[in-house]
Structure 1
Amino acid sequence: MSKYRRYITAGGTLACALGIGYFMQASHNGPVNVRAAGMVDAGEPKIEISQITLTSAAPTPPVAMAEPAALPAAPVTLAVAQDTPLADDLPSEEAAPGFSCEYNMTAKPLAAAMVEVTLDAPCMINEKFTLHQNGMMFTEATDDKGHSVLTVPALAENAVFIVSFGNGEGTIATASVDTFTYYDRFVVQWGGASGMKIHALEYGADFGDDGHVWDDAAYDMARAARGEGGFLTRHGAPDLDNALLAEVYTFPTETALRAGDISLRVEAEVTAANCGRDLEAQTIATDAVSGLKVQDIVLAMPDCDGIGDFLVLNNLFNDLKVAQN
């Protein structure tokens, strides 16, 4: 038996003994010694106890409750405030201001097979998004009104432009570019600070000459529209985190005013951001004969002792041979 149960048993025995002593009365006039069973006092004579009557006090009935007071004879009248009609000129509840969360994007063809892509996303103020078009991807951001206007080279005659935001939402627009087949395009795209650049050497030009088309001498689409030569565009916002960037060289192959060769190469500058690691990129080439060609590339960049040097990649694109039109 546990200690806890022993405490309960001892307490019950004690209460029983006290109860018996409280309700017993003896008719014997002399002193009476009451001992527990089994206890014998050899020094005193035994006293016979008889005529013990068990008594208990009769329960006293409770005092009768007073009768409840009688209600007054006069009837009680219940008073209720009369309804007051509401005024007709109470102010009406103002309508909550509306807030449009719809996305709207349009794509309008421009000269030199370029497309103006206009995005309106009022819910996406200063938000980063990715523009997708036939494999090309780059990162941009809306302004403080959720607006963005981009000029993008078409990579297909029926160009499809998709905008996707970080929350998985987005929108789509299409454009029919009739002049697409007049131009050849060469795309290099990458993520982060890769330092990649396209260099086009038109009609035998050397680095730094007229006809050397690159980031520092990009020319414009009007030059290509006139058939004089190519131009270069860069796409994406490099100041955004984990931005996707792209560079595109466009040449008017079908409308060129001169015959000759266009030499194409890609350079990757060794920087503190890419030295000693693999650099991943992708190339896309379009022409009227072969269509779209996509190639993934991985470059093992030199150690950081080579910061400022360049890796020259001559075979990513086929050189152009232009016939006079």
Structure 2
Amino acid sequence: MGVPVTFRHEGLFFTVVTSDIGRVTVNIPVFSRQAVFSVEMPDGSTISTEALVQEANDYDHVAVMWSGDTGLQIHAYEPSGAHVWGYAPQNISVAIKGRGGYVTRLGSTDFPEAKQAEIYSFPRRKIRKSGVVRLALSAAVTPYTCGKNRVVKTLQPGVNGGNTLVDLVLNMPACDSGVRNLVLKNIIRDLKIAQN
């Protein structure tokens, strides 16, 4: 039977369940050129590794992290007119060609309060025109989330370089409010694209 393990990288975190023989494979957007990854085992021990990723500085990443069922999703409105989100995530091949960003969802939903993350990645050094990627966050109002406070973390490029980790509390609407989806437009900063 598989066990839950928690991956961490530059403030990013999420939990996945291993196979019966303890194997797990994940594709993680890299947040820094000298990347450090760690895996926390169920007994509290940690395994770490480092990797030099030359292309990491070509991308901006915005991540949202949470535990349990929150129905959170990042929405990116790109200068091209594309609306990139969980139901239209695009993929890394679009970014490699410099045509836009993509969304990656990480983490298991197989057990309560599992740590999950969603990341929007944008190839800022591959885009040939200036503009702004407008970012918003949506949260589904469900019987599990309504009327509760949900703790969320955001990770995004800092004003002076590096990445900034911010703790937030979402006050979800009451269960009888009639609201089914909460859209938050000022939780994560827009990405400004300078012309290359």
Superposition TM-score, scaled by structure 1 size:
0.58
Picking from 119, 123, 129, the partner of 1:258 is 129
Q: Secondary structure at the match of 1:279?
A: strand
2:66, 2:178 → 1: CA distance?
A: 19
Give 1:91-110 correspondences, 5 Å limit. Answer: none
1:274, 1:262 → 2: CA distance?
A: 29
Picking from 113, 118, 125, the partner of 1:242 is 113
Could you tell me how far 1:306 is from its partner in structure 2? 3.5
| Residue 166 of structure 2 corresponds to residue 295 of structure 1 | yes
- Find the counterpart in structure 1 of residue 188 from structure 2: 317
| Residue 152 of structure 2 corresponds to residue 281 of structure 1 | yes
Structure 2 unaligned regions, length at least 5: none
- Find the counterpart in structure 1 of residue 67 from structure 2: 191
1:321, 1:286 → 2: CA distance?
A: 11
What value does the CA root-mean-square deviation take over the aligned residues? 1.7
- Find the counterpart in structure 1 of residue 86 from structure 2: 215
Once the two structures are superposed, residues 87-126 of structure 1 have per-residue CA deviations (whole angstroms, 9 ceiling, x without a partner) of xxxxxxxxxxxxxxxxxxxxxxxxxxxxxxxxxxxxxx51
2:2, 2:123 → 1: CA distance?
A: 36
Higher helix residue share:
1
Once the two structures are superposed, residues 49-93 of structure 1 have per-residue CA deviations (whole angstroms, 9 ceiling, x without a partner) of xxxxxxxxxxxxxxxxxxxxxxxxxxxxxxxxxxxxxxxxxxxxx
- Find the counterpart in structure 2 of residue 42 from structure 1: none
Are the aligned partners of 2:173 and 2:179 in contact in 1 as well (CA < 8 Å)?
no
1:288, 1:182 → 2: CA distance?
A: 17
Q: Secondary structure at the match of 1:234?
A: strand
Tell me which stretches of 4 or more aligned residues in structure 1 moved more than 3 Å.
none
2:89, 2:80 → 1: CA distance?
A: 17
Are the aligned partners of 1:228 and 1:256 in contact in 2 as well (CA < 8 Å)?
yes
Higher strand residue share:
2
2:34, 2:177 → 1: CA distance?
A: 44
Once the two structures are superposed, residues 240-290 of structure 1 have per-residue CA deviations (whole angstroms, 9 ceiling, x without a partner) of 232000000000111113332210011111111111110110000026952
1:320, 1:170 → 2: CA distance?
A: 34
Could you tell me how far 1:321 is from its partner in structure 2? 2.4
Change (3 A) 1:298 1:278: same
Give 1:1-325 correspondences, 5 Å limit. Answer: 126-203=2-79, 205=81, 211-286=82-157, 289-306=160-177, 309-325=180-196
Superposition TM-score, scaled by structure 2 size:
0.94
Could you tell me how far 1:212 is from its partner in structure 2? 0.5
1:288, 1:218 → 2: CA distance?
A: 26
Tell me which amino acid in the other structure corresponds to 1:234.
R
Q: Which has the higher contact order (CA 8 A, sep 6+)?
A: 2
1:288, 1:157 → 2: CA distance?
A: 18
Once the two structures are superposed, residues 154-188 of structure 1 have per-residue CA deviations (whole angstroms, 9 ceiling, x without a partner) of 12211111111121123111111111111111000
- Find the counterpart in structure 2 of residue 57 from structure 1: none
Could you tell me how far 1:227 is from its partner in structure 2? 0.8
Tell me which amino acid in the other structure corresponds to 2:2.
N
Once the two structures are superposed, residues 214-253 of structure 1 have per-residue CA deviations (whole angstroms, 9 ceiling, x without a partner) of 0000011111111110000000011223200000000011
Structure 1 unaligned regions, length at least 5: 1-124, 206-210
Q: Secondary structure at the match of 1:172?
A: strand
Tell me which amino acid in the other structure corresponds to 2:146.
C
Larger Rg: 1
